Structure 1
């Protein structure tokens, strides 16, 4: 069943580290069946705390999403994201 990796950025604290993440994360998708559906686009908050940015990535299933997230290539890029900002990240199964 389709799964979605959702990244919700709370606060950007280091733009230089985030730029490094942005420059390197694309390579991590090679060989993974991922489709980026949204990435830091215009948003309209309806309830709760407004996030600084949102990314939604579609995968065929949870296992595929975890395979990408846990891959050495993504983990190498993610180190820069962790230094750059605070995030909430979830993988959710579709209906």
Structure 2
């Protein structure tokens, strides 16, 4: 079974509130076995519009990644994030 990856690209509007989001993700990420591959750090835009913060999380499968996103625990965190940042989250299948 192929692993699943979250790719999250964010521009943070409220850094203090975003810290609350990060804290709220701890429980769902642990529950669903999320493993950070890239979290913040330097990024270089080669094409298109870059975002200030980029995160890649590895999950055991695409379905696990989707289940984590849809979980009640993560949806609490998502509501916090949506007030603090603009961005996109996609799930992709690993090779």
Instruction: Give me the TM-score of the superposition, normalised by structure 2.
Output: 0.90
Q: Take 1:30 and 1:92, find their aligned partners in 2: how far apart are those partners? A: 20
Q: Note if 1:94 corresponds to 2:79.
A: no
Q: Take 2:74 and 2:34, find their aligned partners in 1: how far apart are those partners? A: 13
Question: Corresponding residue for 2:32?
Answer: 32
Count of residue pairs the alignment pairs up: 94
Quote the offset at 1:89 in angstroms. Answer: 0.9
Question: Corresponding residue for 1:19?
Answer: 19
Q: Take 1:19 and 1:36, find their aligned partners in 2: how far apart are those partners? A: 17
Q: Take 1:58 and 1:81, find their aligned partners in 2: how far apart are those partners? A: 20
Residue ranges of structure 2 left out of the alignment (5+ in a row): none
C-alpha RMSD over aligned residues: 1.2
Q: Which moved more, 1:59-68 or 1:23-32?
A: 23-32
Q: Secondary structure at the match of 1:56?
A: strand
Instruction: Give me the TM-score of the superposition, normalised by structure 1.
Output: 0.90
Question: Corresponding residue for 1:75?
Answer: 75
